[in-house]
Chains A and B, each alone.
Chain A
Amino acid sequence: EILLTQSPGTLSLSPGERATLSCRASQSVNSGRLAWYQQKPGQSPRLLMYDASSRATGISDRFSGSGSGTDFALTISRLEPEDFAVYYCQQYGSSPVTFGQGTRLEIK
Chain B
Amino acid sequence: EVQLVESGGGLIQPGGSLRLSCVASGFTVNSNYMSWVRQAPGKGLEWVSVMYSGGVTYYAGSVKGRFIISRDNSKNTLYLQMNNLRAEDTAVYYCARDVAVNNYYFYMDVWGKGTTVTVSS
Interface residues of A (CB under 8 A from B): 33, 35, 37, 43-47, 50, 56, 88, 90, 92-102
Contacts and interface: CB of A to CB of B under 8 A. Distances in A.
A101 B44 contact: yes
A47 B94 contact: no
Contact of A44 (B94, B101, B106): B94
B111 A44 contact: yes
Closest 10 interchain pairs by CB?
Answer: A44-B111, A35-B107, A92-B105, A99-B45, A101-B44, A102-B44, A92-B107, A47-B109, A97-B47, A50-B107
Interface of B: 37, 44-47, 58, 60-61, 94, 99, 101, 104-109, 111-114
B112 A96 contact: no
Nearest to A93: B105
B109 A99 contact: no
A102 B45 CA distance: 8
B44 A45 contact: no
A93 B105 CA distance: 7
Contacts of B106: 92, 97
Contacts of A44: 94, 111-114
A104 B109 CA distance: 21
Given A45-B94, A88-B44, A101-B44, A95 B109 contact: no
B99 A95 contact: no
Given A44-B113, A92-B106, A99-B46, 11 more contacts: A33-B101, A33-B105, A33-B107, A44-B112, A45-B37, A46-B111, A90-B45, A92-B101, A95-B105, A97-B47, A102-B45
Contacts of B113: 43-44
A47 B104 CA distance: 19
Nearest to A90: B107
Contacts of B47: 96-99
